[in-house]
């Protein structure tokens, strides 16, 4: 979040007063949705401010989410979030990016360009972008980068699933997506306080249980090596307890 403010400052310096209408390409036209990762954890988990949840998925050509992934995400969110008004997930295609690798900042710009659904009233909106390439480092399958924003590296997930002896695509896609959603929900120690210490501090905001969905390996290339093809990891009791204590089911 702060880096976006810094960037805006730099752009204004560069263009000076002759570009009064210059806007930061990474700033969303909705202040609620332009916050740091973890800031909406309680809003997502509890039903006190926001009673409904909409998830807008936009995918680049060839990389729509598997119907099994949509079902798994729906079940996951209904299991964790108090949303008496309902949880809906929609997906639509957007223009491709030529398969190029993307940085987090470039993904953030694409979100500004394409996202149409924003939080208002009592409905919270989350955005998921599925790209047609890899991240620039080529090491992650997805990442969460704002309070209600997630990116999946569609091609990276496709390339590492569905083959002989590999994890199924829906299983890998679901695992990565549910893991990234876990970060939006404030895991681990990222907006949702820990009830007991279980943070793998060497790997940022991840769980120290290698069998937990929030273990760092889920979003990296380790995911397709350590999990049996049929297995989607779940949240362990420490992560579940944290979510429950912060307003979740
Ligand atoms: Zn993670
Ligand atoms: Zn955990």
Ligand 2 mean position, distance from CA 3 (Å): 29
Name the strands in the sheet holding 149-153, side by side, starting at the edge strand that comes first in the sequence. Answer: 86-93, 52-59, 123-131, 149-153, 142-146
- What pLDDT is recorded for position 230? 57
Which are the contacts of 28, defined by CB distance < 8 A and separation ≥ 6? Answer: 34, 111, 112, 115, 118, 146
What is the average per-residue pLDDT within 23-32?
A: 84
- What pLDDT is recorded for position 223? 53
Does domain 32-245 sit in CATH 3.40.390.10?
yes
What is the average per-residue pLDDT within 67-94?
A: 97
What is the average per-residue pLDDT within 37-45?
A: 97
Q: Which range among 91-95, 119-123, 129-133, 136-140 shows the weakest confidence by mean pLDDT? A: 136-140
Which letter does DSSP use for residue 200 in this model? -
Of residues 15 and 36, more confidently modeled: 36
Ligand 2 mean position, distance from CA 217 (Å): 12
Ligand 2 mean position, distance from CA 193 (Å): 13
Residue 8 pLDDT greater than 60, yes or no: no
In which element (H, E) is residue 174 found? Answer: helix 169-184
pLDDT band for position 12 (cuts 50, 70, 90): very low
Tens of pLDDT, residues 164-181:
777 788 988 999 999 999
CA 16, distance to chain mean position in Å, is: 35
Give the ligand at the shortest distance from the Cα of 205.
1
Give the ligand at the shortest distance from the Cα of 239.
2
CB contact at 8 A, 227 and 166: no
What is the average per-residue pLDDT within 199-222?
A: 88
Tens of pLDDT, residues 87-117:
999 999 999 999 999 999 999 999 999 999 9
SS (H, E, C) 103-147: CHHHHHHHHHHHCCCCCECCEEEEEEEEECCCECCCCECEEEEEC
Which are the contacts of 75, defined by CB distance < 8 A and separation ≥ 6? Answer: none
pLDDT band for position 137 (cuts 50, 70, 90): confident
Rounded to 5 degrees, what angle do the CA atoms 143, 156, 227 make? 80
Residue 161 pLDDT greater than 90, yes or no: no
CB contact at 8 A, 155 and 63: yes
Cβ neighbours, 10 Å, residue 200: 17
Q: What is the pTM of this model?
A: 0.88
Of residues 201 and 217, more confidently modeled: 201
The whole-angstrom separation of Cα 143 and Cα 29 is 21
φ, ψ at 223 (rounded to 5°): -60, -40
pLDDT band for position 1 (cuts 50, 70, 90): very low
Cα diameter, the chain: 59
Give the ligand at the shortest distance from the Cα of 200.
2
- What pLDDT is recorded for position 195? 98
- The answer, yes or no, to whether the previous bond of 188 is cis (omega within 30 of 0) is yes
Residue 64 pLDDT greater than 50, yes or no: yes
The whole-angstrom separation of Cα 172 and Cα 11 is 39
| Environment of ion ligand 1 (residues, CB < 5 A) | 219
Residue 4 pLDDT greater than 80, yes or no: no
Rounded to 5 degrees, what angle do the CA atoms 128, 130, 134 make? 130
**Domain assignments of the chain as residue spans, ordered by start:** 32-245
- What pLDDT is recorded for position 114? 97
pLDDT band for position 24 (cuts 50, 70, 90): confident
Ligand 2 mean position, distance from CA 198 (Å): 7
- How far from each other are the two terminal CA atoms of the chain, in whole angstroms? 28
Strand partners of residue 33 = none
- What pLDDT is recorded for position 220? 72
Ligand 2 mean position, distance from CA 214 (Å): 5
- What pLDDT is recorded for position 11? 32
């Amino acid at each position: 979040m702060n880096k976006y403010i810094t960037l805006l400052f730099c752009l204004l310096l560069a263009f000076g007063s002759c570009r009064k209408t210059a806007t930061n390409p990474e700033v969303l036209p909705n202040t609620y949705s332009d916050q740091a990762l973890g800031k909406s954890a309680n809003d997502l988990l509890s039903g006190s401010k926001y009673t409904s949840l909409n998830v807008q998925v936009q995918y680049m050509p060839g990389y729509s989410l598997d119907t099994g992934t949509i079902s798994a995400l729906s079940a996951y969110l209904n299991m964790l979030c108090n949303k008496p008004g309902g949880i809906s997930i929609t997906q639509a295609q957007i223009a491709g990016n030529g398969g190029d690798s993307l940085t987090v900042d470039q993904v953030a710009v694409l979100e500004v360009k394409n996202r149409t659904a924003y939080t208002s009233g009592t409905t919270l909106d989350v955005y998921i972008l599925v790209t047609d390439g890899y991240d620039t480092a080529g090491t992650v399958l997805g990442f969460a980068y704002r309070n209600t924003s997630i990116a999946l590296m569609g091609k990276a997930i496709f390339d590492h699933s569905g083959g002989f002896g590999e994890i199924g695509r829906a299983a890998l896609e679901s695992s990565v997506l549910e893991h990234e959603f876990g970060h939006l929900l404030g895991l681990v120690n990222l907006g949702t306080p820990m009830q007991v210490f279980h943070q793998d501090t060497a790997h940022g905001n991840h769980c120290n249980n290698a069998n937990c969905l929030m273990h760092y390996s889920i979003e990296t290339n380790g995911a397709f090596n350590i999990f049996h093809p049929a297995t989607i990891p779940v949240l362990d009791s420490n992560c579940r307890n944290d979510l429950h204590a912060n307003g979740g089911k």
